[in-house]
Amino acid sequence: MKFKLDKKDFENFLKDLMETYDLFAPVQLTEGVSVFKKIDKPEEVNLTQLVPQKSAKEVFFPQSETMFRYEMSENQSPIVSEQKIGRERVLLGARPCDIEAIFIVEKVFIGEDYTDVYFLEKRKKTTIITLACNHPLTTCFCSSTGGGPFRKDGSDLFMIDLGESYLVELLTEKGLAFSKNRFFKEAGSKEIRLVKELEEKAAKKTDSSIPVEGIEKRLDLMVESPFWDRIHEKCIGCGTCTFLCPTCHCFDITDEATNQKGERVRNWDSCLFPIYSLETSGHNPRPTGRERTRQRLMHKFNYYPKNFGRVACVGCGRCILYCPVQFDVREAILYTSSRRTEGRKGKFK
Amino acid sequence: MKNPYLPIPMILKKARIETSDRMLRTLELTFRHPEDEEKFRYVPGQFCELSALGKGEAPFGIASSPTEKGSLKFTINKAGLVTTELHRLEEGSEIGIRGPLGNGYPIDLFQGKNLVIIGGGFAFTTLRSLIAYFLHPENRARIKGITVIYGARMPGLLLYKEELLEWEKRDDLRLVTTVDWGDKDWKGKVGLVPNVLEEAAPSAEETYAVICGPPVMIKFTFPKLMALRFPNERIFTSLEKRMKCGIGKCGRCNIGHLYVCKDGPVFSYGQLEKLPKDY
Amino acid sequence: MIQQKLREKAKELLSSKTVDLIIGYGSWTLPLRTTPVFIRAPEGVESLVWNSFCENNLTTYLHKFSRLKVGVVVKGCDARSVTALGLEKRFPNHRPLLIGIPCQRMVDRKKVKKAVKGEILQAVEQGELLLVKGEDFNVTLKREDFLYSVCQVCTHRTPLHADVLIGDPVEESPLVDLHPDVKALEGKSPEERWEFFQKEISRCIRCYACREACPMCYCSECFVDSSRPRWIEKSLSPSDLAFYHIVRAYHQTGRCTGCGACERACPMDIRLTHLTQKLNQEVKGLYGFETGIQPETLPPLSTFNPEDEQEFIK
């Protein structure tokens, strides 16, 4: 079912939405910096930045989350789990790459053996309204990782910016709940045609040349390659790429307590931090940047595929855009390709 | 849906300092809720995440055997924030537990075969579970010969001393305890574990080896096992790695595509050969 | 021109085995950026560049290569970092060879991005002009309108104590005081200043890019990672964020050269140099000390002089 939503109705549409749902959408914190946040006022929603720094994974897997609270008393310490969320949620304005990434994280968190109930609860209660990318950036290589700027998979509703209005397509049962929305008008053939044009234009812009295909097998042969000795040199070991990456999902668990009361909290962690794998005995299986950079790239392009059948990268380009030293994952992938022995711009010597 | 991150409450029934340096303490925990005890089924080699609420959680191998009903035993090495708290807690305190986690030793593979168990220092905890399991009358007939070689740096640092004395008296297992340096009371063997293994020279035919110990011991013992013709698929070890969630979600403990908490901690050397040296 | 001389010098240093490794800037995949390059073979010097996008402080890498003889390309601020690190005894084996290039002041890429509408596909320097091209635009900007704020007030653009100087020393600007933005903040009330600070760091995601980009942050155990005692939690609570940034700033007192690497590394555009500029000004006022200028003078917070200003500890 396809509808048209005029931009002049957009704020009211959001206001309506917020009566029933908790709305999560991109918010501009300062010019050039956007994150996904819970919206208090509809005016906060800002869809101008194609790749917000923090991705939509924040909505299902917050950077900082209380897992349970406890209070020690005479006889026992009742533990109160914090897994339930209040209202149903709507995630609006995430791009297809971020939505693809949710599925990648989901495969780990919702397993056959154990289920991360915190993630599951939010996942079940969220309606996803994805926004298509009319103008992908040159750093976008979603089409190399099996995605695309107009890819609808995983969305409940799919929005396309037509200039003066949005085209909204309802895709799932959750989406159909919006079919009677009072701001949705009938979409005409003009709109449908415009969508097709935009889609074709966008498809040409994303980079499909990055050789992600077959990288798992190529990396199998490279576990001890001297490639790792060089590639890690410029990485300074911060957590920018891991925290901004929509598929990275490592976390740390700590207790925060004062006397008898406290909570167990989980926070995002990064495999690039030196103490990430440091054992109490002092032994660190990944003592230098070489092992840690290898771990990050192998996890994304070799270990995760072995377990789940696809690479854990959606080609969003955040790590390229925001890395302080311009580490470019595309060059690393190219280097592993048998077709090229050097990256496009330089050599990994 | 069950929240796998919530610990269940246990009571610290008995605590005992095991070693002369006072760094190892064995905790015997009982279940606060009987229904939790009924649901708790484990095999030797599995581990649990023990919670000292307010300080944190840490993984420990289960030292008791599933044949020892009514309580669980863990031996804690005092090394950091959580372990210091676990040493401090008095009998009667409550400790949280999540488990049983991990894959455990491949008991089924050992059926009808001989077993050589090699332990060093305080890595002996899950080996105790394995030995006690097979020494139990219900299970003893399931495997053939049991050889145990256990070494510590000094006599005072041996774990489970009373049990070792009892086991030495048995004729259905061959136990050799050794120390790197003896003292005036020590009447037993003095020698490094790899050398004692060479002397004892168990046959590799129809035999599985299980080895747990500090990296330096494994480094020198493993070649001796190779010299005795043990194939990699029949040598098992229990790996340690920094862990947090214990259920394969937080990503921390991976070796290659396998997680030590979920696909391990017990691995065969045949498996480890194919993985990056990330441990 | 400077670029060519730089490549020639680098080739000479590598061929003569004066150094084993040269750390410099190379061009890479995105416009307005360079990337650190690590060159070991003389032929590799062709990847070295010099332009207004050489914004990283490369001296932060020196600790990774302490066993090698390293030559590092430095601007004025970076060279002062090496002097400061030397005083802290960070070079037990080989002192790094400084390849100094008098700095023309670096371009603030985030500022340029805000001045255009759309993705920047190409940016070319032409003298004092910056030609910026996108899919729908082609603009010419004046380079001097788009410099980093710390660069605008820099008084040490010529690298001091450089072993090799590529290009002629520049005439230093007279001391200007704080950058106008920082001066404006200074003029506000304490409540307004605290509000500004809280708002800036509320964006912080604890990625530690600032800490890692900074050459003076080299502790093997940073205070944020200590568990006994646990000074700070890993979450994003306002108190944790404030604690981290304030303590890190204070750990830099008397050691910071004001290079701005922290602010440039931050993915959330937190204006950290507002803090560092003010701190450096205070240190200059109280102790007459500027980091990395005198190679023999110890930093004021690691020494005590009976003549030290003591107003604040009465």
Amino acid A129: pLDDT? 97
- Within 8 A of C37 by CB-CB distance, chain A residues are 234, 346
Helices C190-201 + C273-287 axis angle, to 10: 130
Q: Give the residue among B111, B126, B152 at the shortest CA–CA distance from B46.
A: B126
Mean pLDDT value of segment B163-184: 92
Local confidence band at A347 (pLDDT 50, 70, 90 cut-offs): very low
- Within 8 A of A61 by CB-CB distance, chain B residues are none
**Phi, psi (deg, nearest 5) at residue C57:** -95, 105
Amino acid C307: pLDDT? 78
Is the pLDDT assigned to residue A344 strictly greater than 60?
Answer: no
CA distance C249 to chain B (A): 28
B81 touches chain C (CB under 8 A): yes
Averaged pLDDT in 10-residue chunks for chain C of 314 residues: 95 96 94 95 94 96 93 96 94 93 95 94 94 94 95 93 93 85 94 96 96 95 90 93 95 94 96 94 89 90 78 69
Q: What is the CA radius of gyration of chain C?
A: 20
Is A303 in Cβ contact with B80 (below 8 Å)?
no
Integer Cα distance of A127 and A37 in angstroms: 15
- Within 8 A of A310 by CB-CB distance, chain B residues are none
Amino acid B134: pLDDT? 95
Local confidence band at A75 (pLDDT 50, 70, 90 cut-offs): low
A216 touches chain B (CB under 8 A): no
- Within 8 A of C228 by CB-CB distance, chain B residues are 80-81
For chain B, the structural domain boundaries read 8-101, 107-238
Mean pLDDT value of segment B46-52: 95
Amino acid C309: pLDDT? 67
Nearest CA in chain C to B84: C228
Report the neighbours of C using a cutoff of 3 or more CB pairs below 8 angstroms: A, B
Q: Which CATH class is domain B8-101?
A: mainly beta
A341 touches chain C (CB under 8 A): no
CA distance B185 to chain A (A): 30
For chain B, the average pLDDT equals 93
Contact in structure between B52 and B97 (CB atoms under 8 Å):
no
Is A63 in Cβ contact with C205 (below 8 Å)?
yes
Amino acid A349: pLDDT? 33
Is the pLDDT assigned to residue A341 strictly greater than 70?
Answer: no
CA distance A314 to chain B (A): 19
Mean pLDDT value of segment B189-196: 92
CA distance C228 to chain B (A): 7
A331 touches chain C (CB under 8 A): yes
Local confidence band at A76 (pLDDT 50, 70, 90 cut-offs): low
Mean pLDDT value of segment A299-320: 96
Is A239 in Cβ contact with C207 (below 8 Å)?
yes
Q: Which residues lie across from B77 on neighbouring strands?
A: B24
Tokens of B200: 């004892």
Amino acid A252: pLDDT? 95
Nearest CA in chain A to C56: A325
Nearest CA in chain A to B102: A113
pLDDT digits (tens, 9 = 90+) for B16-43: 999 999 999 999 999 999 999 999 999 9
pLDDT digits (tens, 9 = 90+) for A16-42: 999 999 999 999 999 999 999 999 999
Local confidence band at A88 (pLDDT 50, 70, 90 cut-offs): very high
Nearest 5 degrees, angle CA B257-CA A115-CA B251?
30
Question: Between A266 and A80, whose confidence is greater?
Answer: A266
Q: Give the residue among C65, C14, C58 at the shortest CA–CA distance from C40.
A: C14
Mean pLDDT value of segment A288-298: 95
Is A325 in Cβ contact with C36 (below 8 Å)?
yes
Local confidence band at B110 (pLDDT 50, 70, 90 cut-offs): very high
Q: Choose the closest CB to B252 out of A250, A257, A264.
A: A250
Q: Choose the closest CB to C27 out of A33, A238, A345.
A: A345
Amino acid A346: pLDDT? 44
Amino acid B166: pLDDT? 93
Q: What is the four-CA torsion angle of B23, B28, B32, B33, rounded to 10 degrees?
A: 130
CATH 3.40.50.80 fits B107-238, yes or no: yes
pLDDT digits (tens, 9 = 90+) for A170-213: 999 999 999 999 999 999 999 999 999 999 999 999 999 999 99
DSSP state of B143: S
Is A116 in Cβ contact with B4 (below 8 Å)?
yes
**Phi, psi (deg, nearest 5) at residue B90:** -90, 165
Percent over 90 (pLDDT), chain A:
82
Count Cβ neighbours within 10 Å for each residue of B23-61 and write b for 16 or more, e otherwise.
bbbbbbbebeeeeebeebebbbbbbbbbbbbbbbbbbbb
Is the pLDDT assigned to residue A345 strictly greater than 70?
Answer: no
CA distance B3 to chain A (A): 6
Local confidence band at A348 (pLDDT 50, 70, 90 cut-offs): very low
Q: In the A/C pair of chains, how many CB contacts fall below 8 A? A: 129
